[in-house]
Amino acid sequence: MEQFFKSLESIKTAITNPEIVTESRKDVLNTKENGWIVDTCCAFDTHVWETGICPSPDTRFLIVEKYHEGKEQAMKGHEKWVQLMRENPQRTLPNINVFTDEE
């Protein structure tokens, strides 16, 4: 619950200071193929690296993994998810709870 309130505060700050969102996306990893997108960045609201996948143009992003050890771990995770999507873009994707440390 504490992370939820921290995220709300970050969103409020981002509304009044949109450069925060731009800054959080400066090191983004983004792969688009055959209608799906794998996007990995350090989220402005949680300050944790995470990978989101949009499986098709008519669906929303699902957060599939968080990386508490930083960018290097996130880069490896991004490549893992890209490979998984290449192998089976119809796979069932997890949608982790981004407001807690639960995976």
Parse the chain into domains and list their residue ranges: 2-87
pLDDT tens for each residue of 67-89: 999 999 999 999 999 999 999 99
For residue 45, CA distances in Å to 24, 56, 91, 95 come to 9, 24, 28, 17
Work out the angle at residue 88's Cα, subtended by the Cα atoms of residues 53 and 44, and round it to the nearest 5 degrees.
10
Residue 77 · residue 51 · CB < 8 Å? yes
pLDDT tens for each residue of 9-66: 555 555 666 565 566 667 789 999 999 999 999 987 788 899 999 999 999 999 999 9
pTM of the model: 0.74
d(CA 81, CA 66): 12
Burial of 57 (0-12, 13-18, 19+ CB in 10 A): exposed
What is the sign of the dihedral through the CA atoms of 74, 101, 54 and 23?
Answer: negative
**Closest residue by Cα to residue 42 from 6, 71, 80:** 71
